[in-house]
Amino acid sequence: MASGRPTALIVGASRGLGLGLAAEYLSRGWDVVATVRGSGRTGLHDLQEKVGGGHLDIETVDIAEPEQVAALRQRLSGRTFDLLFVNAGIANDPDETVGNVATDEFVRVMVTNALSPMRVIEAFDDLVTPAGTIGVMSSGLGSVADNEHGGWEVYRASKAALNTLMRSYGARHRKDARALLIIAPGWVRTDMGGPHAMLEINESIPRVVDVITAQSGKPGVRYLNYQGQTVRW
């Protein structure tokens, strides 16, 4: 990888919003290390072929597997990143309630969406530059205050938990100069967002990157949507 360019580590970039983030940072002149799960070919490999030039490194990690997170941390020792962004996440059946969700499914969503992104941050934060940015992909559905209509009960709870854990991380690192960003990308047409979502990836992600860029160098935790507006906790 060329030196002298800012570098992002984007976790969960095989498709959807994470792939969009990788493409957007590359188009803005960044170097990108981005991750997929497993060994199959993904959209990220297509992107690497398209951009060429050695500016995109592809790594492998399942964030819900602590030994894989530790192994990736080991492989990236000695690297530094201006941005660490954990995008990986899953959704369950939005109609499932706490009345009927299986315990295993509840645990799967919580571990993937709340515990695992924070474990990645705990493992990789020392690779992020002192004035760098650490971000997670949350959701507007993670807002407790805005939950007027219900639905998506378990997913909402997982993103609310992620938000709270990020705030706790910020409280524990209150002397840290890094921006700690919780991003709500809008409802976007991806495998998760579905075909009826309001936004295309290219209507959300460039604005998300604008928001992250505008927050760079501003210490502390913020919960922001893709338009740069504060989301109610």
Binding site for ligand NAP (CB under 6 A): 12-18, 37, 62-64, 87-90, 112, 137, 139, 185, 187-188, 190-193, 197
CA atoms within 13 A on the CB side of 10: 29
Strand (E) positions, 87-225? 128-137, 179-184, 220-225
- Min. distance of Cβ 123 from ligand NAP in angstroms? 13
Q: Exposed, middle or buried by CB within 10 Å (0-12, 13-18, 19+), for 149?
A: exposed
Which is closer to ligand NAP, CB of 39 or CB of 77? 39
DSSP code, position 226: T
CB of 89 to ligand NAP, least distance (A): 2
Shortest Å distance, C-beta 174 to ligand NAP:
26
Nearest to 178 by CA among 214, 212, 217, 211: 217
Q: Which is nearer to ligand NAP, 38 or 78 (CB)?
A: 38
- The answer to whether the beta carbons of residues 12 and 72 sit under 8 Å apart is no
CA distances for 30 relative to 57, 82, 221, angstroms:
12, 10, 24
Q: How far is the CB of 13 from ligand NAP (least distance, A)?
A: 6
Cβ proximity to ligand NAP: between 16 and 170 the closer is 16
**Least CB distance to ligand NAP at residue 131 (A):** 25
Could you tell me the smallest distance in angstroms from the CB atom of residue 133 to ligand NAP? 17
Q: What are the C-alpha distances in Å from 39 to residues 14, 58, 136, 155? A: 11, 11, 24, 27
Q: Tell me whether residue 15 or residue 173 sits nearer to ligand NAP (CB atom).
A: 15
Nearer to ligand NAP, 9 or 64 (CB): 64
Residue 67, H or E segment: helix 66-75
Nearer to ligand NAP, 14 or 133 (CB): 14
Closest distance of CB 148 from ligand NAP, Å: 17
Residue 149 or 174: the one with the smaller Cβ distance to ligand NAP is 149
179-184 sheet: strands from edge to edge: 56-60, 31-36, 7-11, 81-86, 128-137, 179-184, 220-225
